[in-house]
Structure 1
Amino acid sequence: MSAADFLLSPAVQKLMQVVYAAPDQWLSSKELTQRTKLAPDVLASTLEHLVRSGILASQTLQADQPPAFKTDPSFVFYRELRSIALKSFAAAEPIRAMLRAKFKDSVVRAFILGEDDNNVVELVVVHGAVTPDEAAMTAACTKLSKSLHRHLQVHVVSANRLSAPARHDALVHRLAAASTFEIVAPGDTKARLPAERLGLLQSAKKKLAALSR
């Protein structure tokens, strides 16, 4: 198995999803088994490989206890791997799947703005003609947060807000930041765009054309 194949294996993804959600926290094998749901032998072999590769650090916190594990920020590709995890299995893919399954009639686009130092993932959900039910969105994101071991901070905005952003609309302007990436693109769902707003001049021309017929 190549290094790339190993990094893409389900066991590694489940483990890295957990450890990158709490990069400064030492976790025992028991805690990792509970959070990842991996079989003990699979977890043990995966931990051994990641420690040997320098991706994880291990330390015996108490003499009579087995070692604990955490991410190793000194690993040369630490930031790159954490970014890959965020943009794929650790956040983007599960969030995309949830939105496309539960809100396919309302969500037209979605973006992840990034992840802060407290491992809070900031999400922008763009709705079309139909606004997603607030209670349903809150419940779905809360449930997903538990499985991702990350808190989701969600902003729900209309597609009209993106089509004509106000000069001081900080949230919309943040969508152009380098750290932002799109996880649901136009056409990925069945949601319809809202009717375009006609400007005053366009509206007047349309009315005059109707009267002249």
Structure 2
Amino acid sequence: MSAADFLLAPEVQKLLLLVYSRPACKFTADEIAKASKLTVEEVQQTQEHLVKCGILTKCKSTADDQEAVCANTSFVFYRELRGIALKSFAAAEPVRAMLRSKFKRSVLRAYLLGEDQQGMVELLVVHGHEVPDEKAMSAACRKLSVSIGRHLKVHVISGRQYATLTGRDDLGMKLAGASAMEVIAEGDTKAKPAAEREGLIESARKKLAALAR
């Protein structure tokens, strides 16, 4: 299977999103189709391809003895592929979709900062002129945590705070780390940057210039 197949094929992404989120579980074609909203035929074709590549392995379902598949944790690139899956479409895409739909007027930028050994995903949200509602953001993140199977730890800061982050700050260090990934870039949403406050001297100069006209 080519890298393009793995990264771009929607059927592959949906199937691996489910299997890699719960690598110890066994999934029948019917279960995968129901969870991923693919047809059974699409699931069967895709999983056969992944089994031949060694990414998945066939097993028996514990429920009704049907044939099932599960993650092949002994596959030589298992850790790398699972890391790519969890970092990209398994976490980034759902987070991006949630922020763009529910907080498009307030979220200016957003970054996934990484995932710890317990599966906690850290998210940095930079707001613009409008501040996202705290209760709405908490509720949306709790709901998203359930759907992606991982807890979210969310930091919400202003654009001004973001601009002052340095390598000495905890968030600044994580933002500069190799695992950080931008999910919302400035301009991706309708959020507007906060208006910068003019310095007192600059403000006074403009007022004097206006009076002199």
Question: Scaled by the length of structure 2, what TM-score is found?
Answer: 0.80
| 1:28 aligned residue | 27
Counterpart code for 2:113 = L
| 1:81 aligned residue | 81
Q: Compared with structure 1, are the counterparts of its residues 182 and 6 closer, same or farther at alpha carbon in structure 2 (3 Å cutoff)?
A: closer
Task: Name the Cα RMSD after superposition.
Answer: 2.9
Counterpart code for 2:145 = S
Q: Compared with structure 1, are the counterparts of its residues 187 and 155 closer, same or farther at alpha carbon in structure 2 (3 Å cutoff)?
A: same
1:106-135 CA-to-partner distances (Å, cap 9, x unmatched) read 111000011233333221111011110122
Aligned residues: percent identity? Answer: 49
Q: Compared with structure 1, are the counterparts of its residues 196 and 45 closer, same or farther at alpha carbon in structure 2 (3 Å cutoff)?
A: same
| 1:54 aligned residue | 54
Give distance in 2, aligned partners of 1:178 and 1:39.
37
Partner-residue secondary structure (3-state), 2:76: coil
Counterpart code for 1:163 = A
Partner-residue secondary structure (3-state), 1:183: strand
State the 1:34 CA deviation.
3.7
Please tell me whether the aligned partners of residues 11 and 43 of structure 2 are also in contact (alpha carbons under 8 angstroms): yes
Please tell me whether the aligned partners of residues 27 and 61 of structure 2 are also in contact (alpha carbons under 8 angstroms): no
* Structure 2 unmatched ranges of 5 or more: none
Counterpart code for 1:206 = E
* Structure 1 unmatched ranges of 5 or more: none
Give distance in 1, aligned partners of 2:62 and 2:107.
49
Q: Compared with structure 1, are the counterparts of its residues 197 and 69 closer, same or farther at alpha carbon in structure 2 (3 Å cutoff)?
A: farther
Please tell me whether the aligned partners of residues 87 and 93 of structure 1 are also in contact (alpha carbons under 8 angstroms): no
Question: Scaled by the length of structure 1, what TM-score is found?
Answer: 0.80
Counterpart code for 2:153 = Q
Give distance in 1, aligned partners of 2:204 and 2:61.
80
Count of aligned positions: 207
State the 1:64 CA deviation.
7.0
Counterpart code for 2:202 = K
Counterpart code for 1:26 = C
Alignment of 1:1-213 (within 5 A): 3-4=2-3, 6-7=5-6, 8-23=8-23, 25-29=24-28, 30-60=30-60, 65-165=65-165, 169-196=169-196, 202-203=199-200, 205-206=201-202, 209=205
Please tell me whether the aligned partners of residues 128 and 158 of structure 1 are also in contact (alpha carbons under 8 angstroms): yes
Give distance in 1, aligned partners of 2:153 and 2:56.
28
Q: Compared with structure 1, are the counterparts of its residues 68 and 119 closer, same or farther at alpha carbon in structure 2 (3 Å cutoff)?
A: farther
Give distance in 2, aligned partners of 1:99 and 1:58.
37
State the 1:207 CA deviation.
6.2
